[in-house]
Amino acid sequence: MRITAGQYRGLTLLSPKDNKVRPTTDKIRQAIFNILQHRFEGVQDKQVLDLFCGTGALGLECLSRGAKSAVFVDLDTSLVRQNVDKMRAEECCQLIRSDVLKYKAKQDFDLIFLDPPYEMALAQATLDKYSDQKDALFIVETEKAVLLKNVEIIDEKIYGDTKITFLKQQNEH
């Protein structure tokens, strides 16, 4: 697994030695960032929140491509810590060792990546928890059968058994 573009292109990231963490593949990550670049405003100067961050690959890819900062949240931040150190990106990263559903963001974010463990119904619960992030673009990775509610789906792509959904929180009228 490596950074696919930007300042740190080609940097190999540390991956888990077991299957407790399911990193987003290079192919899917590249597709996500192509969509962000060509359909949205890219990641330049964005504030990024990487929930269920695992290795930190999504947030670190953002930093390599010019994001302003990234906050990484997971129960175990050891892999992302090592990858942040390897990239020498400590000054623009914040690591939060916490249950994603208990963490309360103290700021608004431009991009929020959400890659919860499959088969645990955490995607909807997390979207509900972060419903105050009205201006953020959420990029959600789930199993392809997962249906998300009470959100404005902008785009969806299927890659094998994985679905990537680009969405915004619904504004209440």
Question: CA nearest 110: which of 44, 157, 23, 33?
Answer: 44
Q: Over pLDDT 70: what percentage of the chain?
A: 95
142 DSSP β-pair partners: 163
Look at residue 172 and give its three-state secondary structure: coil
Q: What is the mean pLDDT of residues 117-128?
A: 88
Domains delineated in the chain: 44-169 (3.40.50.150)
Q: What is the pTM of this model?
A: 0.93
Beta-strand pair 137-143/162-169? antiparallel
| 60 touches 88 (CB < 8 A) | no
| Residue length of the chain | 173
Q: What is the mean pLDDT of residues 134-159?
A: 93
| pLDDT tens for each residue of 35-55 | 999 999 899 999 999 999 999
Beta strands in 13-161 (DSSP E): 47-51, 69-74, 93-97, 111-114, 137-143, 151-159
Using CA atoms, how far apart are residues 142 and 117, in angstroms rounded to an integer? 8
